Amino acid sequence: MGRLDNKVALVTGGASGIGKGIALRLAADGAKVIISDIQRALGEATAAEGGFEFLEQDASNEQRWDEIIGDIEQRHGKLDILVNNAGILGSVNNDPERTQLADWRKVFAVNLESVFLGCRAAIPAMRRAGGGSIVNIASVTAQMPTSMILPYGSSKAAVRQLTKSVAEYCAQQKLNIRCNSVHPGFIDTPAQLQGNEEIAKSRGLTVDQVRNGLKARVPMGAIGESEDIGAAVAFLASDDARYVTGAKLLVDGGMIMD
């Protein structure tokens, strides 16, 4: 018996990277997993590989959230777990002087507004199901200065505040819905590699130099894997965390010891 048996889970941005790692772990623990992503071909391939269902979704599209949740309830009768994972980094040269408002808004639309929309859509569905667990993927950058990726760090800090507010509301309303945030550090994913390549190009470094520089900032001396995030999410999604809400779980190799 898996600890997530008979649970229905939606993971946004589940086609690759951290989202894929989360989906694989939830499924391994017994959940019925639906992944959504804006990348249709990759999402379908990942779903076939992992035995998931796939739904195409721009997580920042308000109308699509109602459709997604309605579809899941119609086919599976409920939604127990929502993992708001969809996100983008933006430019690695988004400092306080050069960041364009359009870039700021794009990052916030995906990284913050989609999380708000997901929480708002999931709460009524989880109320109907008798409870549930929402896990928002923030970042270690929520707790540190991010002068070169200003919109990204700012959006992730806002996700943390949103998480606490949703957790408080659900607790006060006695909804049996928990909401927590997971804060990854440096994780080996296609998005991390792309970011490393952009940093290397803009600063005249090799990708290996960038990667080694990141490793040097981690007390445990290693870059994490998507499976590490999946394990953290699976705990928060399960009844093992039934008395945990509004919490932040740092999965960063010791970068932020708070």
CA distances from 137 to 95, 111, 146, 159, 174 (A): 23, 9, 17, 8, 24
HSE on the CB side for 190, CA within 13 Å?
A: 11
Instruction: Report the C-alpha gap between 11 and 133 in whole angstroms.
Output: 12
Q: Give the number of other CB atoms < 10 A from CB of residue 48.
A: 10
3 state SS of 224: strand
Is 184 exposed, middle or buried (CB count within 10 Å of its CB: 0-12, 13-18, 19+)? buried
Is 6 exposed, middle or buried (CB count within 10 Å of its CB: 0-12, 13-18, 19+)? exposed
Q: Both tokens of residue 54? A: 């796939």
Residue 152 is among the residues annotated as catalytic for this protein? yes
For residue 135, the surrounding DSSP H or E stretch is strand 132-137
Torsion angle of C-alpha atoms 152, 251, 247, 96, degrees rounded to 10: -20
Of 54, 65, 108, 152, which residue is the catalytic one?
Answer: 152
Contact (Cβ atoms closer than 8 angstroms) between residue 18 and residue 85? yes
Contact (Cβ atoms closer than 8 angstroms) between residue 115 and residue 162? yes
So which residues are the catalytic ones? 152
